[in-house]
Amino acid sequence: MENVVEKLVLVGKNINILYVEDDLTLQEEVNLFLSDIFQSVDLAKNGEEGLEKLALCPYDIVITDIKMPVMDGLEMIEKIKELYPAQAILVTSAHNEIGNLCKLVNLGIEDFLAKPLVGEQTFNVLLRVVKCINERKELHHYRKIIKKTNEIIKEDAAKQGKDVDMKTSMLQTYKESQNFR
């Protein structure tokens, strides 16, 4: 398990987390755990507050409980997926949520973590999700480089095309002037 934790610390250093949990004692415990691994961890106590924070700041992962006051996790996830379809979401619950599991999968959550958030299963899920997020970020970075390079190539091709047109025009003029002699 130490190897998994070491890998997670390495790949999680640039990851921002929003943790949504109504149990403030558990929220603080998990915050301490997550803060040792990830770049930043913000907290919200219900789905409504979670949505407000997500609107102000992008997060790599939203980790949320299901049963919460004001707005539960399911409702928040539905709204997140409407507004931010690519948002990575992990769901935590101490309750048997088999009834909600199908709905959660259909909403596109990354995984389901049983409370308490300890043990190898939690670390493995976090590692897998973080690796996927880092791969998406890297792919996005390379796409930007390719797009920029493509724009430069198009500009160069357009300049070269103008040069060829000018030289062709000059040759044509020269040719026509030779025919008049």
Domain at 75, CATH number: 3.40.50.2300
- Do the Cβ atoms of 37 and 9 come closer than 8 Å? yes
In a domain? residue 106: yes
Q: Which domain holds residue 60?
A: 2-135
Write down the pLDDT at residue 170: 72
Write down the pLDDT at residue 150: 83
Write down the pLDDT at residue 83: 93
Write down the pLDDT at residue 108: 65
In a domain? residue 153: no
Question: For the whole model, what pTM was predicted?
Answer: 0.73
In a domain? residue 150: no
Kind and range of the H or E element at 160? Answer: helix 120-179
Other beta carbons within 10 Å of 56: 8
DSSP label of 14: T
For residue 145, how many C-alpha atoms fall within 13 Å in the half-sphere facing its CB?
Answer: 6
In a domain? residue 167: no
In a domain? residue 18: yes
In a domain? residue 71: yes
Kind and range of the H or E element at 40? Answer: strand 40-44
Q: How many structural domains compose the chain?
A: 1
- Do the Cβ atoms of 73 and 65 come closer than 8 Å? yes
- Do the Cβ atoms of 137 and 39 come closer than 8 Å? no
Sort residue 68 into left (φ over 0), alpha (ψ -120 to 50) or beta: beta
Write down the pLDDT at residue 104: 67
Mean pLDDT per 10-residue section of the chain, whose length is 181 residues: 77 90 88 88 94 94 89 90 91 68 66 71 84 87 87 80 70 71 56
